[in-house]
Amino acid sequence: MAKYLLVSFKTCPWVQRAAIVLREKQIEFEFRHIEPDNRPDWFLAISPHKKVPVLRIDDRVSLFESNAIAEFLDETIEPRLHPADPVQRAVNRAWTDYVPTFAHGVTASGYAIDEAGYKKALADVPVAFDRLEKALEKKDAGPFFNGAAYSLVDAAYAPFLLRYSMLERIKPTGAIEKYPRLKAWSAALLARPSTHSFPPAEFEALYRETLLKRKSYISQFIEAPRAAAE
Ligand SMILES: N[C@@H](CCC(=O)N[C@@H](CS)C(=O)NCC(=O)O)C(=O)O
Protein backbone atom coordinates (compact mmCIF):
# COMPACT_ATOMS: atom_id res chain seq x y z
CA MET A 1 0.00 0.00 0.00
CA ALA A 2 1.25 3.47 -0.82
CA LYS A 3 2.13 5.98 1.91
CA TYR A 4 -0.38 8.83 2.21
CA LEU A 5 0.14 12.19 3.89
CA LEU A 6 -2.82 14.57 4.17
CA VAL A 7 -1.75 18.16 4.80
CA SER A 8 -4.39 20.09 6.68
CA PHE A 9 -5.57 23.15 8.57
CA LYS A 10 -7.49 21.72 11.52
CA THR A 11 -10.82 23.35 10.70
CA CYS A 12 -10.72 23.19 6.89
CA PRO A 13 -13.89 21.57 5.47
CA TRP A 14 -12.16 20.68 2.20
CA VAL A 15 -9.50 18.75 4.10
CA GLN A 16 -12.29 17.06 6.03
CA ARG A 17 -13.84 15.90 2.76
CA ALA A 18 -10.58 14.21 1.71
CA ALA A 19 -10.11 12.72 5.20
CA ILE A 20 -13.63 11.27 5.12
CA VAL A 21 -12.90 9.48 1.84
CA LEU A 22 -9.65 8.10 3.28
CA ARG A 23 -11.50 6.86 6.36
CA GLU A 24 -14.39 5.38 4.35
CA LYS A 25 -11.86 3.37 2.39
CA GLN A 26 -9.94 2.47 5.55
CA ILE A 27 -6.74 3.86 4.10
CA GLU A 28 -4.03 4.53 6.66
CA PHE A 29 -2.70 8.06 6.37
CA GLU A 30 -0.62 10.58 8.24
CA PHE A 31 -2.71 13.61 9.12
CA ARG A 32 -0.40 16.63 9.35
CA HIS A 33 -1.89 19.90 10.55
CA ILE A 34 -0.15 23.15 9.70
CA GLU A 35 -1.04 26.70 10.71
CA PRO A 36 -2.78 28.90 8.11
CA ASP A 37 -0.69 31.88 9.26
CA ASN A 38 2.59 30.02 9.16
CA ARG A 39 2.66 27.75 6.09
CA PRO A 40 6.03 26.02 5.93
CA ASP A 41 8.24 26.17 2.86
CA TRP A 42 7.95 22.42 2.21
CA PHE A 43 4.17 22.90 1.99
CA LEU A 44 4.38 25.95 -0.30
CA ALA A 45 6.60 23.89 -2.60
CA ILE A 46 3.94 21.19 -3.06
CA SER A 47 0.72 23.23 -3.05
CA PRO A 48 0.26 25.25 -6.25
CA HIS A 49 -2.48 27.47 -4.76
CA LYS A 50 -0.87 27.45 -1.28
CA LYS A 51 -4.07 25.82 -0.05
CA VAL A 52 -4.96 22.68 1.86
CA PRO A 53 -5.76 19.87 1.36
CA VAL A 54 -2.73 18.38 -0.30
CA LEU A 55 -2.49 14.60 -0.49
CA ARG A 56 1.14 13.57 -0.79
CA ILE A 57 1.64 10.02 -2.04
CA ASP A 58 4.84 8.08 -1.38
CA ASP A 59 6.70 11.40 -0.88
CA ARG A 60 6.63 11.65 -4.65
CA VAL A 61 3.33 12.98 -5.97
CA SER A 62 1.19 15.79 -4.55
CA LEU A 63 -2.50 15.99 -5.33
CA PHE A 64 -4.53 19.10 -4.57
CA GLU A 65 -8.22 20.13 -4.73
CA SER A 66 -10.49 18.03 -2.55
CA ASN A 67 -12.67 16.85 -5.44
CA ALA A 68 -9.68 15.67 -7.48
CA ILE A 69 -8.32 13.90 -4.39
CA ALA A 70 -11.66 12.18 -3.72
CA GLU A 71 -12.01 11.09 -7.33
CA PHE A 72 -8.43 9.77 -7.41
CA LEU A 73 -8.92 7.74 -4.24
CA ASP A 74 -12.17 6.37 -5.61
CA GLU A 75 -10.53 5.31 -8.86
CA THR A 76 -7.62 3.61 -7.17
CA ILE A 77 -8.89 2.07 -3.93
CA GLU A 78 -11.87 -0.15 -3.15
CA PRO A 79 -14.66 0.05 -2.13
CA ARG A 80 -15.94 2.20 -4.98
CA LEU A 81 -18.01 5.03 -3.55
CA HIS A 82 -19.30 6.31 -6.87
CA PRO A 83 -22.34 4.45 -8.24
CA ALA A 84 -21.59 1.80 -10.86
CA ASP A 85 -24.27 3.14 -13.20
CA PRO A 86 -22.82 5.88 -15.47
CA VAL A 87 -25.99 7.98 -15.39
CA GLN A 88 -26.12 7.87 -11.59
CA ARG A 89 -22.41 8.64 -11.50
CA ALA A 90 -22.95 11.72 -13.67
CA VAL A 91 -25.81 12.83 -11.41
CA ASN A 92 -23.57 12.35 -8.37
CA ARG A 93 -20.79 14.37 -9.98
CA ALA A 94 -23.26 17.12 -10.83
CA TRP A 95 -24.16 17.33 -7.13
CA THR A 96 -20.56 17.40 -6.01
CA ASP A 97 -20.09 20.30 -8.44
CA TYR A 98 -22.76 22.15 -6.46
CA VAL A 99 -20.85 21.79 -3.17
CA PRO A 100 -18.97 25.14 -3.27
CA THR A 101 -22.27 27.01 -3.82
CA PHE A 102 -23.96 24.99 -1.09
CA ALA A 103 -21.01 25.56 1.23
CA HIS A 104 -21.18 29.29 0.76
CA GLY A 105 -24.97 29.30 1.09
CA VAL A 106 -25.09 27.48 4.41
CA THR A 107 -21.94 28.68 6.18
CA ALA A 108 -21.43 32.30 5.03
CA SER A 109 -23.57 33.49 7.96
CA GLY A 110 -20.73 32.34 10.21
CA TYR A 111 -18.31 34.75 8.60
CA ALA A 112 -20.50 37.86 8.17
CA ILE A 113 -19.05 40.69 10.20
CA ASP A 114 -22.20 42.68 10.91
CA GLU A 115 -25.90 42.06 11.39
CA ALA A 116 -26.84 43.19 7.87
CA GLY A 117 -24.31 40.78 6.34
CA TYR A 118 -25.49 38.02 8.64
CA LYS A 119 -29.16 38.50 7.65
CA LYS A 120 -28.23 38.63 3.97
CA ALA A 121 -26.23 35.40 4.31
CA LEU A 122 -29.11 33.69 6.13
CA ALA A 123 -31.40 34.46 3.19
CA ASP A 124 -29.25 32.16 1.02
CA VAL A 125 -29.68 29.15 3.32
CA PRO A 126 -33.19 28.10 2.16
CA VAL A 127 -32.11 28.36 -1.49
CA ALA A 128 -29.29 25.86 -0.97
CA PHE A 129 -31.42 23.65 1.29
CA ASP A 130 -34.29 23.57 -1.20
CA ARG A 131 -31.99 22.42 -4.02
CA LEU A 132 -30.78 19.47 -1.95
CA GLU A 133 -34.22 18.61 -0.62
CA LYS A 134 -35.47 18.31 -4.21
CA ALA A 135 -32.45 16.21 -5.20
CA LEU A 136 -33.09 13.89 -2.24
CA GLU A 137 -36.78 13.61 -3.22
CA LYS A 138 -35.66 12.07 -6.51
CA LYS A 139 -33.61 9.42 -4.73
CA ASP A 140 -34.44 6.27 -2.84
CA ALA A 141 -35.15 6.55 0.84
CA GLY A 142 -31.95 7.43 2.77
CA PRO A 143 -30.07 7.33 4.94
CA PHE A 144 -27.47 8.51 2.41
CA PHE A 145 -27.66 10.52 -0.79
CA ASN A 146 -28.04 7.44 -2.98
CA GLY A 147 -29.97 5.41 -0.43
CA ALA A 148 -28.23 2.64 1.49
CA ALA A 149 -24.84 3.04 -0.19
CA TYR A 150 -22.48 5.76 1.09
CA SER A 151 -21.01 7.87 -1.74
CA LEU A 152 -18.64 10.71 -2.58
CA VAL A 153 -21.65 13.04 -2.46
CA ASP A 154 -22.08 12.21 1.23
CA ALA A 155 -18.39 12.82 1.89
CA ALA A 156 -18.56 16.18 0.10
CA TYR A 157 -21.61 17.59 1.91
CA ALA A 158 -20.93 16.25 5.42
CA PRO A 159 -18.36 18.94 6.38
CA PHE A 160 -20.79 21.74 5.53
CA LEU A 161 -23.82 20.17 7.18
CA LEU A 162 -21.65 19.73 10.27
CA ARG A 163 -20.68 23.42 10.22
CA TYR A 164 -24.31 24.41 9.74
CA SER A 165 -25.25 22.35 12.82
CA MET A 166 -22.55 24.13 14.83
CA LEU A 167 -23.79 27.57 13.70
CA GLU A 168 -27.29 26.53 14.74
CA ARG A 169 -26.05 25.77 18.23
CA ILE A 170 -24.67 29.29 18.49
CA LYS A 171 -27.73 31.13 17.17
CA PRO A 172 -30.63 28.87 16.19
CA THR A 173 -32.69 29.70 13.10
CA GLY A 174 -34.48 26.38 12.57
CA ALA A 175 -34.07 26.73 8.79
CA ILE A 176 -33.50 23.01 8.25
CA GLU A 177 -36.87 22.09 9.82
CA LYS A 178 -38.67 22.77 6.53
CA TYR A 179 -36.52 20.22 4.71
CA PRO A 180 -37.21 16.79 6.23
CA ARG A 181 -35.12 14.76 3.82
CA LEU A 182 -32.15 17.07 4.17
CA LYS A 183 -32.55 17.04 7.95
CA ALA A 184 -32.53 13.23 8.05
CA TRP A 185 -29.58 13.09 5.66
CA SER A 186 -27.64 15.56 7.80
CA ALA A 187 -28.37 13.53 10.94
CA ALA A 188 -27.12 10.34 9.24
CA LEU A 189 -23.93 12.04 8.10
CA LEU A 190 -23.24 13.63 11.48
CA ALA A 191 -23.70 10.23 13.15
CA ARG A 192 -21.24 8.56 10.77
CA PRO A 193 -17.84 8.07 12.48
CA SER A 194 -15.92 8.85 9.24
CA THR A 195 -17.30 12.41 9.28
CA HIS A 196 -15.22 13.33 12.31
CA SER A 197 -11.51 14.09 12.22
CA PHE A 198 -11.58 15.16 15.88
CA PRO A 199 -13.82 14.36 18.85
CA PRO A 200 -16.95 16.45 18.11
CA ALA A 201 -16.75 18.67 21.23
CA GLU A 202 -13.07 19.41 20.57
CA PHE A 203 -13.82 20.28 16.96
CA GLU A 204 -16.74 22.51 17.91
CA ALA A 205 -14.44 24.44 20.28
CA LEU A 206 -11.89 24.86 17.47
CA TYR A 207 -14.58 26.06 15.05
CA ARG A 208 -15.86 28.57 17.60
CA GLU A 209 -12.30 29.83 18.10
CA THR A 210 -12.03 30.56 14.36
CA LEU A 211 -15.32 32.52 14.45
CA LEU A 212 -14.11 34.51 17.46
CA LYS A 213 -10.76 35.18 15.81
CA ARG A 214 -12.52 36.50 12.71
CA LYS A 215 -14.72 38.70 14.93
CA SER A 216 -17.70 37.50 12.93
CA TYR A 217 -21.15 38.80 13.88
CA ILE A 218 -22.32 35.43 15.17
CA SER A 219 -19.32 35.07 17.48
CA GLN A 220 -20.89 37.50 20.00
CA PHE A 221 -23.51 34.79 20.68
CA ILE A 222 -20.94 32.19 21.66
CA GLU A 223 -21.36 31.54 25.32
CA ALA A 224 -18.24 31.43 27.46
CA PRO A 225 -17.54 27.87 28.60
CA ARG A 226 -19.31 27.19 31.87
CA ALA A 227 -17.10 27.01 34.94
CA ALA A 228 -16.76 23.58 36.50
CA ALA A 229 -19.38 22.81 39.13
CA GLU A 230 -18.97 25.11 42.10
N1 LIG B 1 -11.34 24.21 -3.88
C2 LIG B 1 -10.39 23.85 -2.86
C3 LIG B 1 -10.59 24.75 -1.67
C4 LIG B 1 -9.48 24.58 -0.62
C5 LIG B 1 -9.45 25.77 0.34
O6 LIG B 1 -10.11 26.82 0.12
N7 LIG B 1 -8.68 25.61 1.40
C8 LIG B 1 -8.51 26.71 2.33
C9 LIG B 1 -8.62 26.23 3.78
S10 LIG B 1 -10.22 25.62 4.16
C11 LIG B 1 -7.13 27.28 2.19
O12 LIG B 1 -6.16 26.54 2.10
N13 LIG B 1 -7.05 28.60 2.19
C14 LIG B 1 -5.80 29.26 2.17
C15 LIG B 1 -5.74 30.37 1.17
O16 LIG B 1 -6.76 30.66 0.51
O17 LIG B 1 -4.67 30.99 1.05
C18 LIG B 1 -10.58 22.37 -2.50
O19 LIG B 1 -11.69 21.85 -2.70
O20 LIG B 1 -9.63 21.73 -2.05
| CATH number for 24 | 3.40.30.10
Is 19 contained in some domain?
yes
Q: Whose CA is nearest to atom 2 of ligand 1?
A: 65
Is the pLDDT confidence value at 225 over 80?
no
The domain of 213 spans 86-219
- Regarding whether 185 and 166 lie in a shared domain, the answer is yes
CATH code for the domain in which residue 178 is found: 1.20.1050.10
Q: Which of 18, 50, 76 is the last residue of a domain?
A: 76
Please give the average per-residue pLDDT across 223-230, as a whole number.
60
Strands (E) in the chain, as ranges, are 4-8, 30-33, 54-57, 61-64
Distance CA 155, CA 157 (A): 6
Is the pLDDT confidence value at 229 over 60?
no
Is 81 contained in some domain?
no
Instruction: Assess whether the C-beta atom of 52 lies below 6 angstroms from ligand 1.
Output: yes
End-to-end CA distance of the chain: 53
Instruction: Assess whether the C-beta atom of 9 lies below 6 angstroms from ligand 1.
Output: yes
Strands (E) in 44-147, as ranges, are 54-57, 61-64
- pLDDT, one tens digit per residue, over 171-210 is 999 999 999 999 999 999 999 999 999 999 999 999 999 9
- Regarding whether 91 and 64 lie in a shared domain, the answer is no
Mutate to test the pocket of ligand 1, among 7, 17, 49 (most ligand atoms within 8 A of CB): 49
Helices (H), 112-199: 115-137, 152-170, 180-191
- pLDDT, one tens digit per residue, over 67-106 is 999 999 999 999 999 999 999 999 999 999 999 999 999 9
pTM reported for the whole predicted model: 0.96
Q: Whose CA is nearest to atom 20 of ligand 1?
A: 65
Distance CA 88, CA 149 (A): 12
Q: Which of 76, 108, 133 is the last residue of a domain?
A: 76
